[in-house]
C-alpha cells in the first residue's frame, strides 16, 4: 500500500488507519487527515448524497450540527473579518447564523 500526497498542502503522509470506508492518511507537515482518493465517490454520487440533506437554515438540528464551526468563528474572528463558506450547499446555515451576529460571509459551492 502506498501513501498519498496531502489534499491540503501536498505534503507527504503516513497511513493513520484503515477504516470501513477506506484508508486514511495523516500529513507529516500540516497534520491534516485525508481519505485515499481511490475511495472518493464520483461527482454524481457526491451531489446525489448532498441532495438528501435537509438544508432548512431554521432547522435547529441543522444549526446544532454546524455549531462547532460557528462557535469557532465567533471565538477566533471579529465581524470586521471576511470569510468564505466553501461547500455551503443549498442551505447556507453558517452564513445565516453568523449574519445574525453581524458577520459577513461569502458562499460558494461547486455543486449548487
For 50-61, the DSSP string reads HTTS---TT-HH
Number of residues near Zn ion (by CB under 5 A) = 8
Residue 77 and residue 94 in contact, taking contact as beta carbons nearer than 8 Å: no
Looking at the Cβ atoms of 31 and 64, the one nearer to Zn ion is 31
Q: For cell 497511513, name the residue.
A: 15
**Burial profile 48-87: b = 16 or more Cβ within 10 angstroms, e = fewer:** eeeeeeeeeeeeeebbeebeeebeebeeeeeeeeeeebee
Q: Looking at beta carbons only, is 11 or 89 nearer to Zn ion?
A: 11
Query: Which of 12, 29, 72, 99 contacts Zn ion by CB under 5 A?
Result: 29
Asked if residue 59 lies in contact with residue 39, where contact means CB atoms within 8 angstroms, the answer is no
Q: Is 32 in the site for Zn ion (CB under 5 A)?
A: yes
Is 6 near Zn ion (CB under 5 A)?
Answer: yes
Taking CB under 5 A as the binding criterion, the range among 32-40, 44-52, 63-71, 77-85 that sits at the site for Zn ion is 32-40
Q: Which is nearer to Zn ion, 24 or 96 (by Cβ)?
A: 24
Residues that bind Zn ion (CB under 5 A): 6, 8-9, 11, 27, 29-30, 32
Amino acid at each position: 500500500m502506498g501513501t498519498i500526497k496531502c489534499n491540503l498542502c501536498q505534503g507527504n503522509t503516513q497511513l493513520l488507519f484503515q477504516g470501513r470506508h477506506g484508508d486514511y492518511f495523516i500529513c507529516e507537515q500540516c497534520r491534516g487527515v485525508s481519505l485515499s482518493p481511490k475511495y472518493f465517490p464520483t461527482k454524481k454520487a457526491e451531489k446525489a448524497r448532498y441532495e438528501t440533506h435537509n438544508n432548512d437554515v431554521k432547522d435547529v438540528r441543522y444549526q446544532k450540527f454546524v455549531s462547532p464551526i460557528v462557535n469557532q468563528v465567533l471565538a477566533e474572528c471579529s465581524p470586521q473579518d471576511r470569510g468564505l463558506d466553501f461547500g455551503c450547499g443549498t442551505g447556507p446555515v453558517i452564513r445565516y447564523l453568523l449574519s445574525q451576529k453581524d458577520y459577513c460571509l461569502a458562499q460558494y459551492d461547486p455543486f449548487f
